[in-house]
Chains A and B, each alone.
Chain A
Amino acid sequence: MSATKAARMGEEVWKTRIDKVNAELVTLTYGSIVAQLCKDYEGDYLEVNKQLDKMGYNIGLRLIEDYLAKTAPQRCVNFRETAEMIARVGFKIFLNITPTVANWTSDNKQFSLVFEENPLGDFVELPDDGRAQNELWYSNLLCGVLRGALEMVQMQVDAHFVSDTLRGNETTEMRVSLVRYIDDELPQSED
């Protein structure tokens, strides 16, 4: 599916089939989760990143069914198409944003999602303790969501943030790499 077609599909589904909630409610709920984790792990931001990723993973495993049920997509023919569908349909229908797909490697197995806006990060200022700015990936939940969702459709990926405007970087960028396609349904062929 072409990028423009995916964009149209995302727009259409978002407009007609998605129940909307107040954006501040989402932002504040997410904020209180991250803040609580920082408290619970006593400022061990690396552990907080890990927990956020894990929570996201569990969301992704479930959310993929909603994505598939609502959009009734065709199976993506390659990883480039997967990237466009994630950006223009997935992020569109669940967060009403469309990150830009950029920085492909030549083997078409790694790309970046560049977020011009990020509803999770509205109103947020990272703690001024000299570490959060270097260690905490505030929106790390999103990495887990992608990892979980893609695993359910037979793709093992690695996803992590490489920059975040909350840390003072110029952009918010997530790097997604395809590790392998999981072929678990069919047993090894004998020939």
Chain B
Amino acid sequence: MILSLLILNKAGGLVYHRDFSNTFTKLSSNDYLVLAGTFHGVHAITARLSPFGPSSGGTPSSGLEVMESEHFRMQCFQTLTGTKFLLFTEPQQPNVDVILRRIYELYADYVMKNPFYQIEMPIRCEAFDRHLMAYIKPKQ
């Protein structure tokens, strides 16, 4: 079961939020913004915690990727442009990375290629919603 998708822009602002299930308690919309901002900060910290960072000749760490609890699993996929996709699922959900990659493709197609979408701004693209739902629904 896929629970929720959040998309964060480069600056850590929440630009998209969608729930796919009614089984959990919702936060207020302001709390989602705070959650996104907090995650952005935590992610930046975790990216610098790696002992094999650039200063020791390694590649930069990607930062926090997965957080698991008894009730949910949160996976973060950060693109090379700095956009973050956070997917909340039930812990036993398989192939989360495949799902995230597919969502990224939908984003590239229906958000970025929409000439009237302004980069870094909140996503209000009906075609994206539609294709996202069509992709997620059969998996539930």
Contacts and interface: CB of A to CB of B under 8 A. Distances in A.
A42 interface: no
Interface in A139-185: 152-153, 184-185
A184 B9 CA distance: 13
A63 B111 CA distance: 11
B59 A68 contact: no
Given A62-B112, A153-B80, A186-B44, A69 B104 contact: yes
A153 B60 CA distance: 14
B107 A75 contact: no
Contact of A185 (B10, B59, B101, B107): B10
Contacts of B81: 64-65, 68, 152-153
B9 to A, nearest CB: 12
A70 interface: yes
A90 B112 CA distance: 17
Contacts of A61: 119
B44 to A, nearest CB: 7
A122 B81 CA distance: 33
A185 B48 contact: no
A86 to B, nearest CB: 14
A21 interface: no
B108 A65 contact: yes
B65 interface: no
A81 to B, nearest CB: 12
Interface residues of B, number: 20
Given A61-B119, A62-B119, A64-B81, A69 B10 contact: no
A184 B47 CA distance: 14
Interface in A42-84: 61-66, 68-70, 72-73, 75, 77
Nearest to B62: A75
Interface in B50-78: 59-60
A75 B80 contact: yes
Contact of B48 (A70, A77, A186): A186
A112 B101 CA distance: 33
A70 B105 contact: yes
Given A66-B109, A69-B107, A70-B105, A77 B119 contact: no
12 contacts: A61-B119, A62-B119, A65-B104, A66-B113, A68-B80, A68-B108, A69-B105, A70-B108, A75-B60, A77-B59, A152-B81, A184-B10
Interface of B: 10, 44, 47-48, 59-60, 79-83, 101, 104-105, 107-109, 112-113, 119
Given A69-B105, A185-B82, 8 more contacts: A62-B112, A65-B112, A69-B109, A152-B81, A153-B81, A184-B10, A186-B44, A186-B48
Interface of A: 61-66, 68-70, 72-73, 75, 77, 152-153, 184-186
5 smallest CB-CB distances across A and B, nearest first, come from: A69-B108, A65-B108, A62-B112, A69-B105, A66-B108
